[in-house]
Amino acid sequence: MAKISIDDLKKIKERERSKMVLRDGEFRVKITVHMGTCGIAAGARDVMSVFRDLIAAKGTHDVILTNSGCAGLCSKEPMATVELSDQPPVKYVLLDREKAARIFEEHVMGGKAVEDYALARGSETTASG
Amino acid sequence: MSAKPLPRMQFMLCAGTGCIASGSLDLKTAMERELKKRNLQDEAVVVMTGCNGFCAMGPIMAVYPDGIFYNQVKPEHAPLIVEEHVLKGRVVPQLLFKEEGKDQIPLMKDIGFFGLQRVIVLRNRGLIDAESIDDYIARDGYAALGKVLQEMSPEDVIEEIKKSGLRGRGGGGFPTGLKWEECRKYSSFPKYTVCNGDEGDPGAFMDRSVMEGDPHSVLEGMAISGYAIGAEKGFIYVRAEYPLAIARLQKAIDDAKDYGLLGANILDKGFDFDIEIYPGAGAFVCGESTALMYSIEGKRGMPRIKPPRSAEAGLWNQPTNLNNVETFANINPIILNGSDWFSSIGTEGSKGTKVFALTGAVTNVGLVEVPMGTSLKQLIFDIGGGIPKKRKFKAAQMGGPSGGCIPADMVDVAIDYESLIEAGAMMGSGGVVVMDNSTCMVDTARFFVDFCVDESCGKCIPCREGLKVMLEKLTDIVEGRGEEGDVEFLMELGQHINDTSHCGLGKSAASPVLSTIRYFRHEYDAHIREKHCPALVCPSLIDFVVMEEKCKKCGLCYRNCPSDAIIWEKKQVARIDTTKCTRCRTCIQNCKFGAIR
């Protein structure tokens, strides 16, 4: 391993940040994919993996992805909740890969909720909320 | 940056000695096998962290980003956790921590034990992989060393530490900045900086936890002290009974060398500093500064007369700075956040926080860090969860065998250096042994004296001979041979030992006796005059008689007696056949009504 400089220390810190963001709770956006049996059957895992791939592709450090149980509206699965810090969470319904990608682009990165797929604002909070 | 998706979930599994003993390594294997089985190994990872402090509830595992806290997790729970939590995002309720009388509250910050603590020394506990230097750097690790080398002169560093008010966490409480300043003054080279990791008090495990859980914080503190005093070489003296601490420190040293954070020309700033581990054989006296240094030199660990102080002539007669593990772990946050921040925490004379190992008769046995000035009551009841088995709090032994006890009616005492000394105890390194009303204070004093007799190095007479005489006298008292005047004799002898012993061990070895006499004189008197042990601990001083008016005729003593010495029939008061009785105290421990005396 090469010897490092003070600048390298900062680079390592930056590189490891996404790992730490998960642990210290200082994130900008939290995406929750609802993964009850109903959600999984309807394709929630695809939605989850789209979010994971996009987070990796964009190299964002401040977005965390988590899952929770059935949101109660099984007929509208797969569902996901996107929560920007200091904004009420937005719940999305009947998702698929394409819709997830658009939500990521417009809401998670762009900060503007995608009204076309949204069910409601300020829904109940998850166990981690 | 690779585009491979990062894990979205992390299981921070405690790999401190306590949790390893209760099976956290098996749990890791089981979790990883289960994740692999479901092809989730890239989505969720298990990270082994240092001690979380909540040892009584181990193995413990925190789940992030949810901040959910599972305790007493067993390998057979792994399939359930993976299925429910990872796959379906549902918390597994039966593994959550439960406080008596409250609903299950899963968030770590909501648990009294964690929520009331303020962590500076233990800032990284449970949050980093103890063996990953990158994890440490990600949480501002080595940023203080970088700042010091880039922006500060050694004098600036010393001034900052002086202003912070940091005092030695090993027991004495000497101001750290003054120590560094003293050592810097001498111009003889080489100089050394030494970390005292010879934690030996019965029931203490603060330093072990820091060395195991956050080894780089110790290394960084040492490197900064080396820069401040002008040393290029450091030693960590760790007892060989701490194999995990030694292994993690060694890995940390190797990784730091690879990165050029130790070794020659650190961070390209022209400062050279190297650290070596010296495993000690575990003699208690080697925690004394001069004995410790002789031990590193390969000589017999015995204290010598001071002066000269170690700052002038320590290791190999060269100027040497010696600080405790916890002291070093405080350096990084002080440098990064400033002395004003640090000195805003705590009391007038005691700044910052202190780590305590909470053991004995307390519900939440574990490792806690609280601001100086926190009351003993808060420590034991709010954080420690009080006394189990509905027993009453009797006293807390603070400062190990060199400290003293604090009785229940002084439970409001603030934990800082001065208040504790005033109360007849001392901060010590941070061991707190909680005792309930089933503890005999005379027997406790005898235990600590026995410990010091074993550990006395034998160099000076008051400690070597005086403690032996003390032990004989205490043994006489607990075995029923105590006589009028014994207590006065113990007080006089104890004062002599404290006054005339050579080193810190001897100077404080009689303190447990003196402080128990001060607060529990009546127990000594009961042992001597009534030949009775009020706590029913000393077998020779128990009558083994059932008190008819208290006996509820339940037969629990009868059923539990291992030597068939209890005579009992339904609806009859029990009796003890003293010819068969072996004085094992099983009946006393089982009687719910305190009917046996």
**Minimum distance, in Å, between the CA of residue A52 and any CA atom of chain B:** 6
A128 closest CB neighbour out of B67, B138, B139: B67
Residues of chain A found within 8 Å of residue B3, distances taken between Cβ atoms: 56-57, 59
Q: Are residues B260 and B385 in the same domain?
A: no
The domain boundary, picked from B341, B364, B394, lies at: B341
- Are B81 and B73 spatial neighbours (Cβ–Cβ below 8 Å)? yes
Residue B393 lies in a domain: yes
Residue ending a domain, choose from B294, B319, B341: B341
* Among chain B residues, CA nearest to A25: B65
Q: Is residue B34 part of a domain?
A: yes
B327 and B207 in a common domain = yes
B187 and B289 belong to one structural domain: yes
Residue of B356, B343, B449, B364 whose CA lies nearest to B54: B364
Q: Do B138 and A1 touch (CB under 8 A)?
A: no
Cα Dmax for chain A: 57
Length of chain B as a residue count: 597
The amino acid at A71: A
CATH number at residue B583: 3.30.70.20
Token pair in block for residue B76? 């057979």
Question: Does B158 or A6 have the greater pLDDT score?
Answer: B158
CB-CB under 8 Å, B8 with A65: yes
Total domains present in chain B: 5
Amino acid B2: pLDDT: 46
B202 and B333 housed in the same domain: yes
| Rounded-to-integer distance, Cα B75 and Cα B91, Å | 17
| Contact criterion met (CB below 8 Å) for A73 and A81 | no
Q: In whole angstroms, give the CA distance from residue B558 to residue B575.
A: 9
Given a cut of 50, whether residue A123 has pLDDT beyond it is no
- With H, G, I as helix, E, B as strand and everything else as coil, classify residue B46: strand
B581 and B563 in a common domain? yes
Pair (B310, B405) in one structural domain = no
pLDDT per residue, tens digit, chain B (597 aa), is 346 788 889 999 998 888 999 899 999 999 999 999 999 998 899 999 888 878 888 899 998 887 788 999 999 999 999 998 888 888 888 888 776 665 555 566 666 677 788 889 999 887 888 889 999 999 999 999 999 999 999 999 999 999 999 999 988 899 999 999 999 999 999 999 999 999 988 888 899 989 988 999 999 999 999 999 999 999 999 999 999 899 999 999 999 999 999 999 999 999 999 999 999 988 999 999 999 999 999 999 999 998 999 999 999 999 999 999 999 999 999 999 999 999 999 999 999 999 999 999 998 888 899 999 999 999 999 999 899 988 999 999 998 888 899 999 999 999 999 999 999 888 888 889 999 999 999 999 999 999 999 999 999 999 999 999 999 999 999 999 999 999 999 999 999 999 999 998 999 999 999 999 999 999 999 999 999 999 999 999 999 999 999 999 999 999 999 999 999 999 999 999 999 999 999 999 999 898 999
B148 and B297 belong to one structural domain: yes
CATH of the domain at B515: 1.20.1440.230
Quick one: pLDDT at residue B172?
Answer: 81
Task: Specify the amino acid at residue A112.
Answer: K
Q: Which residues of A touch B10 (CB under 8 A)?
A: 19, 22-23
Contacts of A33 in chain B (CB under 8 A): 89
Q: What is the pLDDT at residue A1? A: 52
Could you tell me the CATH number of the domain that includes residue B44? 3.40.30.10
Could you tell me the two tokens for B256? 């730091």
Contact between B6 and A55 using a beta-carbon 8 Å cutoff: yes
pLDDT (tens digit per residue) in A41-97: 889 999 999 999 999 898 888 888 888 777 667 778 899 989 887 788 888 989 999
- Do B483 and B566 belong together in one domain? no
User: What is the domain extent for residue B574?
Assistant: 543-597
Instruction: Write the CA distances from B302 to B234, B315, B379, B455, B499, integer angstroms.
Output: 21, 13, 36, 11, 19
d(CA B192, CA B314): 8
Tell me, yes or no, whether B25 and B172 share the same domain. Answer: no
Partner-chain contact A127 B66, CB within 8 Å: yes
Q: How confident is the model at residue A127 (pLDDT cuts 50, 70, 90)?
A: very low
Work out the end-to-end distance of chain B between its first and last CA atoms, rounded to an integer number of angstroms. Answer: 72
Residues B88, A25: C-beta atoms closer than 8 Å = no
Q: Does the pLDDT value for residue A125 go beyond 50? A: no
Q: Are residues B253 and B200 located together in one domain of the fold? A: yes
B169-200 b/e (C-beta count within 10 Å ≥ 16 → b): bbbebebbbebbbbbbebeeeebbbbbbbbbb
Chain B CB contacts of A17 below 8 Å:
138
Q: Which CATH number fits domain A6-121: 3.40.30.10, 3.40.50.150, 3.40.50.140, 3.30.70.1560?
A: 3.40.30.10
Contact B581, B563 (CB under 8 A): yes
Looking at the complex, report in whole angstroms how far the Cα of residue B49 sits from the nearest Cα belonging to chain A: 12
**Among A9, A18, A30, whose Cβ lies nearest the Cβ of B6?**
A18
Cβ-based contacts of B12 with chain A (< 8 Å):
23
**In this structure, are residues B208 and B55 in contact, taking their beta carbons and an 8 Å threshold?**
no
If asked whether residues B429 and B450 sit together in one domain, one would say no
pLDDT at site B105 = 53
Binary contact (A20, B89; C-beta < 8 A): no
Of B3, B10, B261, the CB nearest to A57: B3
B128 within some domain: no
List CB contacts (< 8 A) between B140 and chain A.
13
Q: What is the CATH number of the domain that holds B379?
A: 3.10.20.600
Locus of tokens 């979010």: A51
Give A12 or B102, the one with higher predicted confidence: A12
Written as six digits, the tokens of B382 are 């709010």
Reference B497, options B470, B522, B476; nearest CA is B470
Query: Tokens for B79?
Result: 């399939």
